Amino acid sequence: MLREILTLESGTVMISGGGKRLARLYFQSWADRKGSALAEELPFPVEGEIYVGNPFRADFPVYLIVNPLTRKGTEREKLLRWLEMKREEGKLVLLYEERYVGDSIARYRIRNHLDYLIAYKRETMGAELLKVYKLENGRVVERKTYVRRPMTSGFGSEQ
Protein backbone atom coordinates (compact mmCIF):
# COMPACT_ATOMS: atom_id res chain seq x y z
CA MET A 1 0.00 0.00 0.00
CA LEU A 2 2.94 2.36 0.60
CA ARG A 3 4.00 2.10 -3.06
CA GLU A 4 0.38 2.67 -4.13
CA ILE A 5 0.36 5.96 -2.20
CA LEU A 6 3.66 7.02 -3.78
CA THR A 7 2.17 6.70 -7.27
CA LEU A 8 -1.15 8.46 -6.57
CA GLU A 9 -2.27 10.90 -9.24
CA SER A 10 -4.81 12.63 -6.98
CA GLY A 11 -6.16 12.30 -3.47
CA THR A 12 -5.55 13.21 0.14
CA VAL A 13 -3.11 11.44 2.45
CA MET A 14 -2.56 12.18 6.15
CA ILE A 15 0.65 11.21 7.92
CA SER A 16 0.32 11.40 11.68
CA GLY A 17 2.79 10.90 14.50
CA GLY A 18 5.64 12.95 13.11
CA GLY A 19 6.86 10.67 10.34
CA LYS A 20 9.00 13.40 8.75
CA ARG A 21 11.13 11.08 6.61
CA LEU A 22 8.09 9.44 5.06
CA ALA A 23 6.25 12.73 4.60
CA ARG A 24 9.32 14.23 2.93
CA LEU A 25 9.60 11.22 0.60
CA TYR A 26 5.97 11.46 -0.54
CA PHE A 27 5.88 15.25 -0.85
CA GLN A 28 9.22 15.40 -2.69
CA SER A 29 8.23 12.58 -5.06
CA TRP A 30 4.83 14.08 -5.86
CA ALA A 31 6.31 17.56 -6.40
CA ASP A 32 9.02 16.20 -8.72
CA ARG A 33 6.48 14.21 -10.72
CA LYS A 34 3.89 17.00 -10.96
CA GLY A 35 6.40 19.84 -11.51
CA SER A 36 5.79 22.06 -8.48
CA ALA A 37 4.15 22.15 -5.08
CA LEU A 38 2.96 24.54 -2.38
CA ALA A 39 3.64 24.02 1.31
CA GLU A 40 1.85 25.89 4.04
CA GLU A 41 5.14 25.61 5.95
CA LEU A 42 8.07 23.21 5.78
CA PRO A 43 8.58 21.00 8.86
CA PHE A 44 11.31 19.10 6.96
CA PRO A 45 13.82 20.04 4.22
CA VAL A 46 12.80 19.53 0.58
CA GLU A 47 14.40 20.21 -2.78
CA GLY A 48 13.02 21.29 -6.11
CA GLU A 49 10.32 23.74 -7.05
CA ILE A 50 8.55 24.06 -3.70
CA TYR A 51 6.76 27.27 -2.81
CA VAL A 52 5.79 28.28 0.71
CA GLY A 53 2.59 30.24 1.16
CA ASN A 54 -1.14 30.23 1.76
CA PRO A 55 -2.63 27.15 0.05
CA PHE A 56 -6.13 28.66 0.10
CA ARG A 57 -5.08 31.41 -2.33
CA ALA A 58 -3.02 29.55 -4.93
CA ASP A 59 -3.42 26.80 -7.50
CA PHE A 60 -0.79 24.04 -7.50
CA PRO A 61 -0.89 20.32 -8.36
CA VAL A 62 0.50 19.28 -4.92
CA TYR A 63 -0.06 20.74 -1.44
CA LEU A 64 1.34 20.22 2.06
CA ILE A 65 -0.84 21.23 5.00
CA VAL A 66 0.66 21.09 8.51
CA ASN A 67 -1.25 20.08 11.67
CA PRO A 68 -4.79 20.12 10.24
CA LEU A 69 -6.37 18.62 13.37
CA THR A 70 -5.43 21.55 15.61
CA ARG A 71 -7.57 24.00 13.67
CA LYS A 72 -10.64 25.33 15.40
CA GLY A 73 -14.08 26.52 14.32
CA THR A 74 -14.27 28.47 11.07
CA GLU A 75 -10.66 27.67 10.16
CA ARG A 76 -11.45 23.93 10.33
CA GLU A 77 -14.61 24.37 8.23
CA LYS A 78 -12.63 26.36 5.64
CA LEU A 79 -10.04 23.56 5.46
CA LEU A 80 -12.71 20.88 5.00
CA ARG A 81 -14.36 22.85 2.17
CA TRP A 82 -10.94 23.42 0.58
CA LEU A 83 -10.13 19.68 0.77
CA GLU A 84 -13.41 18.86 -0.95
CA MET A 85 -12.67 21.38 -3.69
CA LYS A 86 -9.15 19.97 -4.23
CA ARG A 87 -10.57 16.44 -4.44
CA GLU A 88 -12.94 17.56 -7.20
CA GLU A 89 -10.03 19.24 -9.02
CA GLY A 90 -7.93 16.06 -8.83
CA LYS A 91 -5.08 17.53 -6.76
CA LEU A 92 -2.66 15.74 -4.41
CA VAL A 93 -2.80 16.89 -0.79
CA LEU A 94 -0.49 15.71 1.99
CA LEU A 95 -1.69 16.47 5.50
CA TYR A 96 1.18 16.29 8.01
CA GLU A 97 -0.06 15.93 11.59
CA GLU A 98 2.58 15.88 14.34
CA ARG A 99 0.45 14.13 16.90
CA TYR A 100 -0.38 10.45 16.55
CA VAL A 101 -3.77 9.52 15.14
CA GLY A 102 -4.52 5.91 14.28
CA ASP A 103 -7.82 4.16 14.92
CA SER A 104 -9.09 7.34 16.59
CA ILE A 105 -9.44 8.95 13.14
CA ALA A 106 -13.12 7.94 13.38
CA ARG A 107 -13.63 10.84 15.82
CA TYR A 108 -12.59 13.47 13.27
CA ARG A 109 -14.68 14.80 10.39
CA ILE A 110 -11.57 15.09 8.27
CA ARG A 111 -11.72 11.30 7.81
CA ASN A 112 -14.39 11.87 5.14
CA HIS A 113 -11.79 13.69 3.03
CA LEU A 114 -8.94 11.18 3.37
CA ASP A 115 -7.95 8.46 0.96
CA TYR A 116 -5.14 7.15 3.19
CA LEU A 117 -3.97 7.61 6.76
CA ILE A 118 -0.43 6.63 7.71
CA ALA A 119 0.02 6.50 11.47
CA TYR A 120 3.73 6.59 12.35
CA LYS A 121 4.98 5.57 15.77
CA ARG A 122 8.52 5.07 17.03
CA GLU A 123 8.57 2.11 19.39
CA THR A 124 11.11 1.16 22.04
CA MET A 125 14.62 0.24 20.94
CA GLY A 126 14.26 2.35 17.79
CA ALA A 127 11.72 0.21 15.94
CA GLU A 128 9.30 2.11 13.73
CA LEU A 129 5.66 1.10 13.34
CA LEU A 130 3.52 2.23 10.41
CA LYS A 131 -0.19 1.57 10.33
CA VAL A 132 -1.64 2.34 6.92
CA TYR A 133 -5.39 2.77 6.52
CA LYS A 134 -7.18 3.03 3.20
CA LEU A 135 -10.40 4.98 3.59
CA GLU A 136 -13.46 5.31 1.39
CA ASN A 137 -16.25 7.69 2.38
CA GLY A 138 -14.76 8.02 5.87
CA ARG A 139 -14.63 4.27 6.54
CA VAL A 140 -11.56 2.09 6.76
CA VAL A 141 -11.72 -0.48 3.95
CA GLU A 142 -8.18 -1.85 4.22
CA ARG A 143 -5.45 -1.77 6.84
CA LYS A 144 -1.82 -2.89 6.89
CA THR A 145 0.94 -2.69 9.46
CA TYR A 146 4.62 -2.34 8.66
CA VAL A 147 7.45 -2.68 11.21
CA ARG A 148 11.00 -1.53 10.61
CA ARG A 149 13.51 -2.73 13.15
CA PRO A 150 16.98 -1.20 13.45
CA MET A 151 20.04 -3.16 12.39
CA THR A 152 21.88 -4.66 15.35
CA SER A 153 25.62 -5.07 15.43
CA GLY A 154 25.74 -7.89 17.97
CA PHE A 155 27.04 -7.48 21.49
CA GLY A 156 30.41 -8.80 22.56
CA SER A 157 31.89 -8.97 19.09
CA GLU A 158 35.52 -8.03 18.82
CA GLN A 159 36.80 -5.61 16.22
CATH value at residue 41 = 3.40.50.300
Q: Residues with Cβ < 8 Å from 120, sequence gap 6 or more?
A: 15, 16, 17, 18, 19, 22, 100, 128, 129, 130
**What's the pLDDT tens digit per position in 32-75?**
999 999 999 999 999 888 999 999 999 999 999 999 999 999 99
Specify burial of residue 14 (Cβ count, 10 A radius: 0-12, 13-18, 19+).
Answer: buried
Q: Please tell me the total count of domains within the chain.
A: 1
Q: Residues with Cβ < 8 Å from 108, sequence gap 6 or more?
A: 69, 101
Residue 157 forms part of a structural domain: no
Residue 159 forms part of a structural domain: no
Q: How far apart, in whole angstroms, are the C-alpha atoms of residue 18 and residue 100?
A: 7
Q: How far apart, in whole angstroms, are the C-alpha atoms of residue 129 and residue 148?
A: 7
Averaged pLDDT, 136-152: 87
pLDDT at residue number 80? 96
Residue 138 forms part of a structural domain: yes
pTM of the model as a whole: 0.90
Residue 136 forms part of a structural domain: yes
Residue 154 forms part of a structural domain: no
**Domain limits for position 16:** 2-148
Averaged pLDDT, 25-34: 95
- pLDDT for residue 24 is more than 50: yes
- pLDDT for residue 18 is more than 90: no
Residue 80 forms part of a structural domain: yes
Q: At 105, which amino acid appears?
A: I
